[in-house]
Each structure stands twice: as structure tokens, then as C-alpha cells.
Amino acid sequence: MEASKVIHAIYNDDDVLMNAVKKVKAERHHIEEIYTPFPVHGLDKAMGLAPTRIAIASFMYGCVGLTVAVVMMNFIMIEDWPQNIGGKPSFSYIENMPAFVPIMFELTVFFAAHLMVITFYLRSTMWPFKKAENPDPRTTDDHFLMEIAVHGNENELTDLLKETGAVEINLIDKAH
């Protein structure tokens, strides 16, 4: 990474931030990261982030859950020991299927939900003893921070950011 220097521009309003993002994008500067205390509606679109695929992952996990439920109960109730329990027809899976539906449903939801959450943690690298990454504690309360890589165009960038209404502009040396 040659961009060892970054600029931190701090804003205190999400509307101002949105306009700043649009302007910075229009000037073709690369925004490394934005830290906000709450979700800003439309920020991902303004930054041009790719849409998430976690819903697709969740759908596939749900299919896995459904398969697990079917295979499990087919083996236990039909193949391994097909007992007559209260007259329920355990001759084939389909004949006793309605009795299995609640479990099929729950396992589908269970797999879809839990594996999706775990996927989210993995993709966003979150775990219990992880060191917090926010560059300025105020970004968790009432300030918004935009991080832009500097490629020797420091002054030009500072002027641009000032124009967009930043309340504070800091040049940071990133220790690698």
C-alpha cells in the first residue's frame, strides 16, 4: 500500500456528508472508508458500493437446512426403524410427510438465519475480542468521518473537503 497517508474529514450532519460524498466522487477521489454513528440511507449508493449478496447466501443455507431435515427424518423414521407409532403411516416419506413439515420448516429457518449471521460476522470480521477500529470515538456518537487516500494531492483535497462543509480535516500517517 503506497497510500500511507490519509485525510480524515469530519462532518456533523448526514445531509452534508451525503453531498460531500457525491462531490468527492464526482472529483474522482477514492473514498477509503466512511464511519457513521447510524445507518445513513442511500450512503452505499452514493459511494457506489456493490449490493450485498447475503440474501442469496441465506437462501442457499435454507435449502441446506431443508435437505438436512428431509434426509435426517427419512433415515430415522422411514429407513432405520419404521415403527408404527399411533397408526402413522411410516411406509414412505411422502405418506407421513405432513407430520415432518414443522421440523422441515424450523430447520430451514434455523440454518438460513444462523448461517447467514455467521457469514455476516466472517465477512465483516467481527468477533468478541476484536480490537475496535474506529479512528475517532466521536464517530460512534454524533460525528461522521470520511477517510480519503492521499497521493500527493494534499492541498487540493483539503480545499475540496473544506468546500464541502467539513468541520475538521486531519492528515493522518497510517502506521502499517
Partner 1 sequence: MTSIILMIVGLIGVGYGFATSHHSLEDVKEMIAAQEAGHGGGHEAETKAHVVAGVEDHSDNSHKANAHDALADTHEGSSHADAVDHDEEHAEHVQHRLANRPWAALYVAAFFFFMIALGVLAFYAVQYAAQAGWSPLLLRVMEGITAYMLPGALIVLLIASLSHFIGHDAIFNWMNPEMVDPDSEKFDKLVSGKKGWLNYWGFLIRGLIFVGGWYLYRHFSRKFSIAQDSADDNRNFKKTFRISAGFLVFFLYTESMMSWDWIMSVDPHWFSTLFGWYVLAGMMVCGITVISMITIYLKSLGLLPKVNDSHIHDLAKFMFGFSIFWTYLWFSQFMLIWYSNIPEEVTYFVTRFQDYQLPFLGMVAMNFIFPLLILMNSDYKRIPWFVIMAGIVILCGHYIDIFNMIMPATVGDQWAIGIPEIGSILLFAGLFIFVVFTALTKAPLEPKRNPFIKESEHFHY
Q: Contact residues for partner 1 (CB under 8 A)? A: 55, 59, 87, 89, 91, 95, 98-99, 101
Helix, strand and coil in the chain, % to nearest 5: 50, 15, 35
Contact 24, 153 (CB under 8 A): no
Residue 26: Cβ-neighbour burial (10 angstroms; 0-12, 13-18, 19+)? exposed
Instruction: Record the cell numbers describing residue 2, joined without a space.
Output: 503506497
Sheet hosting strand 144-149, strand order edge to edge: 31-35, 144-149, 5-11, 168-173
Closest to partner 1 by CB, 81 vs 91, is 91
The single-letter code of the amino acid at 53 is R
Minimum CB distance to partner 1, residue 38 (Å): 19
H or E element that contains 14: helix 14-26
Minimum CB distance to partner 1, residue 59 (Å): 7
Minimum CB distance to partner 1, residue 4 (Å): 40
CA distance 14 to 30: 19
Q: How many helices (H) and strands (E) does the chain have?
A: 5, 4
Contact 37, 141 (CB under 8 A): yes
Minimum CB distance to partner 1, residue 18 (Å): 15
Closest to partner 1 by CB, 41 vs 176, is 41
Minimum CB distance to partner 1, residue 95 (Å): 5
Closest to partner 1 by CB, 108 vs 164, is 108
Closest to partner 1 by CB, 83 vs 125, is 83
Closest to partner 1 by CB, 59 vs 121, is 59
Closest to partner 1 by CB, 106 vs 142, is 106
